[in-house]
Amino acid sequence: MITSHFPKYVAVFALFVLSVGALDTFIAAVYEHAVLLPNRTETPVPKEEALLLMNKNIDVLEKAVKLAARQGAHIIVTPEDGIYGWVFTRETIYPYLEDIPHPEVNWIPCRDPRRFGYTPVQDRLSCLAKDNSIYVVANIGDKKPCNASDPQCPPDGHYQYNTDVVFDSEGRLVARYHKYNLFAPEIQFDFPKDLELVTFDTPFGKFGIFTCFDIFSHDPAVLVVDEFQVDSVLYPTAWYNTLPLLSAVSFHSAWARAMRVNLLAANTHNTSMHMTGSGIYAPEAVKVYHYDMETESGQLMLSELKSRPRSEPTYPAAVNWAAYARGVKPFPSEQSDFPGMIYFDEFTFTELKRNTGNYTVCQKDLCCHLTYKMSEKRTDEVYALGAFDGLHTVEGQCYLQICTLLKCQTTDLRTCGEPVGSAFTRFGEFSLSGTFGTSYVFPQLILSGSQLAPERHYEVSRDGRLRSRDRVPLPVLVMALYGRVFEKDPPRLGQGPGKLQ
């Protein structure tokens, strides 16, 4: 099932833009796909059976592509693993793979399907793009032969890569990206030996592309934005929500805001694996998003974006994330801090005892300052301010500095940091800041029901404060400044004992 969010006036505007050729804006689409999974992945299947499954998924994606194109979309992003699913071995993924050439070969598979051997999936994706005059972004598997002269060549004689492909509106392959930071269970794929920074130009801006867990790393995510100055990032993902701090829509929207680029994020949809959360995010605002743990259907989203946001008067200014906090004396406390765990990291917490107050909590070099005012201090809900400054080592190794205000799961302080779904306590005023040692800080504000707070209710000041804007009382679930200190990461993020996808 495909449903869509799309204002009628945007469709009319898209037609106007196309008619006059002024591509100052474009219509972006993302599709959250409920992937049809294979019945078995423990033993290899014939190539024909693999293709049958992939075509069933592409049948669903085709409906989304056609619907998006009819509504004026210039580009559509589909999810990671969206064509064949996940949980494979090297052997069982092989029938699903194709040889994907470098885009420099100037190839339109729809017109020349046999040029690079048997490539039915690329042929079909190319025709979808060409026949609907839309850029199509998909995630498939690439295979590349190697031999004994290559000391890293796997015993089976070929490399296998988790791969994003982009076909332009003529069906031409214009981008190929091999995922650089693999998730631990992705034993079916190889790590690329060399970093790929993939960008391509369109009439509606310059695009970069990477996949899922790559968003946590400096390479390629930060490099492709900072060094190549892309306007928009295409982001296929298969993201399972890990509350309270790693919900897909909150982290991805925060990343777009902090990196000051458009982000088109398409997630897979599988509620049993807590996979949901796709969206279209601009530097200054969330355009549209979808977070649904109740139904099993896919969702198409469309929104208008600025083609070159850096040239717009609304482009947000750079933030000095420690400017305010370093000038604040730590607020005195009459109570003891206590430890608590969030996703295997031991935070230092302090409880919010009153309906209004000023609190500071510190860990190592990070001090987090909070000023707040609740409309009512409920007795059945407990909130805590937490700080973490250290190396995260479970399911990935990355150095974090995090300030967070969150609702504890129960009134027992030992549950602070555990996932929570709803909140009734309302905050009319708040200001959260921290003495961060990094310029890469991702601000999140999540309301009851895991919904994103509308931008009209809060702001990020240039001196590094996440603060209320209009004093409208908000049922806050989580407030966070999620910092990444890339220079303290172990070598080659993604090669540790495990990773978060």
Residues known to be catalytic: 80, 179, 212
DSSP assignment, residue 8? H
Query: What is the C-alpha to C-alpha distance for residues 345 and 399, in angstroms, rounded to an integer?
Result: 11
Query: What is the C-alpha to C-alpha distance for residues 369 and 39, in angstroms, rounded to an integer?
Result: 51
Phi, psi of 66 (to 5 degrees): -65, -40
Query: What is the C-alpha to C-alpha distance for residues 257 and 120, in angstroms, rounded to an integer?
Result: 38
Q: Residue 210 carries which side chain, given as an amino acid letter?
A: F
Instruction: Give whole-number Cα distances, 212 to 6, 117, 239, 298, 458, in Å.
Output: 26, 29, 7, 19, 28
Nearby residues of 456 by Cβ (< 8 Å), 6 or more positions away: 469, 470
Phi, psi of 459 (to 5 degrees): -150, 160
Residue 14, CB-side half-sphere exposure with 13 Å CA sphere: 23
Instruction: Give whole-number Cα distances, 410 to 381, 421, 460, in Å.
Output: 7, 12, 30
DSSP H helices, 266-350, are none
Query: What is the C-alpha to C-alpha distance for residues 472 and 428, in angstroms, rounded to an integer?
Result: 5
Beta strand 383-392 with 345-351: parallel, antiparallel or unpaired? antiparallel
CB count in 10 Å sphere of residue 114: 9
Residue found under tokens 């031999």: 147
Rg (CA), the chain: 23
Nearby residues of 332 by Cβ (< 8 Å), 6 or more positions away: none
